[in-house]
Structure 1
Amino acid sequence: MKLYQYHHCPYCVRTDMVANYKNVTHEKIYLLNDDEQSCFDLVNAKVCPILQFDDGTAIKESLDIVAKLDELGDSDKVITNKNKGDVYEQLFAEIKPSTRILTYPRTIMIGLPEFATQSAKDYFQGKKETMIGMTFDKAMAASPEHINIVDPILALLPELPIQDTLGIDDILLFPILRNLSMVKGLTFKQQTLDYMQHIAKLTNSELYFSRAL
């Protein structure tokens, strides 16, 4: 099997977490961000992640891929049901514009494989600048303002469970926190940091603190 993804994409991270946690034998393929043709060849749409099976068929939609990987993977590696996920989703929905302004410009600056070419960076930048309504230069300059918006939400996060099993809540929450780890100056509670490090180890995922800008 092949798992096509972008390193930065929260939806892709969901699937990569589960593939690693469930010990699913697969090949990771990081597409260039402007490689539309590969996506259309596989699922007739410019989307990631994409899971391609050995027979050449493929599926998209992150939670559908998560369900399939859960089915195919190690049955001893349990994925627990959703518990407080709605609380997390509501908190971060309130600050989505600010998290985008903080993370989008940094995404092309920290050496990720999907931005190995200038054309891939330009493709992403053009789309995301339209989405946030400002240039990446202006977004970077506005970082202090948006850090001040995101920090209080991080402070409101309840104590996050640290356990040996992966949960749907973790699959939904960790990718958001992981992308925020690329933003230097954000304040994470120690318990949140402990949770992030634990999930990163449990799912063989990378945090971005060492690359933070």
Structure 2
Amino acid sequence: MESQDATVEHADLEECPLATRISKNKTHGADGGNAKSECLHCGSIIPGSYSRVKAHLFKEQGKGISICTQATPEMVAQFHAEEDAAKSVAQDSSPRSVPMPVHIPVTYSVGRPPSGKRKKQSGITESFHNEFRQMADSLIARMFYTGGIPFNLARNPNYRASYNFIANHDMGGYVPPGVNKLRTTLLQQEKQNVEKLLEPLKKIWGAKGVTIASDG
């Protein structure tokens, strides 16, 4: 776990606006330990991530980290300027929100359709339900387009099964798994499940043999 944290911290330090003010990729400890960097101005060892590097170079008191004794007020001002410039570039290059092709009136409530005759209410409610479905389709389609996802994924039975499960169960506030959970916890869980399913087959390999085939 420590080595994984160190890797994350190193990536953080390498991408930080003040990366030129420290020596990167310094590790301490028998197994690599947590990431630590060295200030190129005063030589102090700075443990942890970029927030501590900033506290050190900005000479921020009360952050649990030593301040740079060689940084003059002019240097600190320069550090802040470099940080602000990097934030400005990041903001300008961040993805911009693009309007959806489907519009849903924000004043409409699914549970309370406009007043009127029951038949009219039913028609209006169904109309808005159709708009919700169209919005859902548009959001899913945009995920494919912006993520470069092959359209063939829509033929994967698990693609439809996942949405059906969410639609048919009361899971208010459900948030899909993020990158870290997909590539760690859930990947390991699926790997263990597949290995368990293969155990009966592996037990007969010794008696019947096994052939490994490859198409390339």
- TM-score bracket, normalised by the shorter chain, equals under 0.3
Structure of higher RCO (CA pairs closer than 8 Å, 6+ residues apart): 1
TM score, norm. by length of structure 1 = 0.26
Q: Which has the larger radius of gyration?
A: 2
TM score, norm. by length of structure 2 = 0.26
